[in-house]
A and B are shown apart, each in its own frame.
Chain A
Amino acid sequence: MAGKSSKKAVSIDMTAMCDVSFLLLTFFILTATAKIPEALPVDTPQSTVQTKLPETDLATLTIGKGKVFFDLKGREVRKRTLELMGQKYGVEFTDDEKSKFALMEGIGVPIQNLKQLIGMKTAERSKAGQPGVPKDSLDNQLADWVQNARIANIQLNDKELQIAIKGDAKEEYPSIHKVMDILQDQKINSFSLVTGLRGKNF
């Protein structure tokens, strides 16, 4: 009796399991979006709050070393925003440049220099030493970027754009306050602050 049962083959047919697992693997690979390198790396402060940022309808203002970078989610919204900004500042962008801009990371140059930035390769761009989007009262391009991104988002998605501020932990308060002020000038009184995760027993 014992001899008989031990002789029985114990290999299970793995084909179906393999099929399922590869199907799932394919799904996850396709839905995962490649992480775009950050134009301005910042060290965000930590908090215990665990609200996640939305995936769409979001503009991120990255603040670090006194510079502000502007980033926007959604390819179509980016294209439309660029068109609107081009119209306002009299810079003409080609279709090729627009589709390249749609896939780019955050930008930190005045709009007059945006054409050169789009023309660069990704590796060159991160080394280019971008000066940040101008935000003085004389040349407040940051406010226009936010304004036009909101218009573009309403036109395309019919939703109000969310604004997130991603500040460097060591940044001094006035530069954060300045950006908040620009947002408040447009009646954006509610926004998110991007933070990292802190341990429970803080």
Chain B
Amino acid sequence: MAELNTGDSGGGKDKKVRSKKQNSKVDLTAMVDLAFLLITFFMLTTTLSKPQSMNLGLPDKDDKSDSNIKVDENRTMTILLGKDNKLVRYVGILSKPLAAPKDFIYGKEGIRKELLDRKAKVLAYSTAKGKPKNGMIVIIKPSKKCTYRNLVDILDEMAIVDVPTYAIVNDFSPEETKLLEGK
């Protein structure tokens, strides 16, 4: 008790207190641990929370000049997106398709296989004609009933398969509407 009262004590006791203060190292390990934990937390939350995005370029709306360009029907594939994740594709022109309209599912085993297969065929066809740069053209036709997820999924497939040319077309012919509703 007496040692604690430093204020009114004599000179001899003052010395005693000083010698005690000498050994006053604090262990900072726990503090450093905590600081690094917080650093890690803030680093990860700042960089990882940035949302991702997919870039989409659409053709000019008013520009009608390129709508009449003739495209080789052997290179095109049309994908119709319908209600309840329905997906129909045909190759070429609908009235005389090179491959009949058929239902597919989204994903690896479904439309991607078909796209890769078709891409290889188109490449072989174009190479035979001496123009290996003319790759596949995919026309995506989202119907009024399909969801945004369907659209992003199919655009994602385009990125995965690396389709050189693809377009989103909004007008439907009556035959195509029937194709989506039928069966």
Contact = CB atoms under 8 A, between A and B. Distances in A.
Interface of A: 11, 14-15, 17-18, 21-22, 24-25, 28-29, 31-32, 35, 44-53, 55, 63, 164, 166-174, 176-177, 180-181, 184-185, 187, 189-198, 201-202
B151 A173 contact: yes
B144 A22 contact: no
Contact of A28 (B42, B59, B149): B42
A198 B58 CA distance: 24
B174 to A, nearest CB: 19
Given A11-B25, A171-B147, A176-B148, A47 B58 contact: no
Given A172-B144, A172-B147, A193-B155, A22 B35 contact: yes
A50 B148 contact: no
Contacts of B72: none
Contacts of B155: 47, 193
30 contacts: A14-B29, A28-B39, A31-B46, A47-B54, A48-B159, A49-B54, A49-B159, A50-B52, A51-B52, A53-B53, A55-B50, A167-B148, A169-B149, A170-B147, A170-B148, A172-B147, A172-B148, A173-B142, A176-B151, A181-B61, A184-B58, A184-B60, A185-B61, A187-B60, A190-B56, A190-B57, A190-B58, A192-B53, A192-B54, A195-B52
Nearest to A192: B53
Given A17-B32, A171-B147, A173-B143, A47 B39 contact: no
Contacts of B43: 28
B55 A51 contact: yes
A18 B35 contact: yes
B58 A195 contact: no
B28 A15 contact: yes
Nearest to B55: A192
A22 B39 CA distance: 8
A193 B151 CA distance: 11
Given A184-B61, A190-B56, A191-B55, 10 more contacts: A14-B27, A21-B35, A49-B55, A53-B53, A171-B147, A172-B146, A173-B145, A185-B61, A195-B53, A195-B152
B156 interface: yes
B42 A47 contact: no
Nearest to B57: A190
A32 B50 CA distance: 12
Interface in B119-175: 142-153, 155-156, 159-160, 170
Nearest to B53: A192
Pick from A17, A173, A198 the residue with the most CB of B within 10 Å: A173
Closest 5 CB pairs of A and B: A14-B28, A28-B42, A192-B53, A21-B35, A169-B149
A173 B146 contact: yes
Interface in B56-104: 56-61, 81
A55 B53 CA distance: 12
A189 B156 contact: no
B49 to A, nearest CB: 7
Contacts of A17: 28, 32
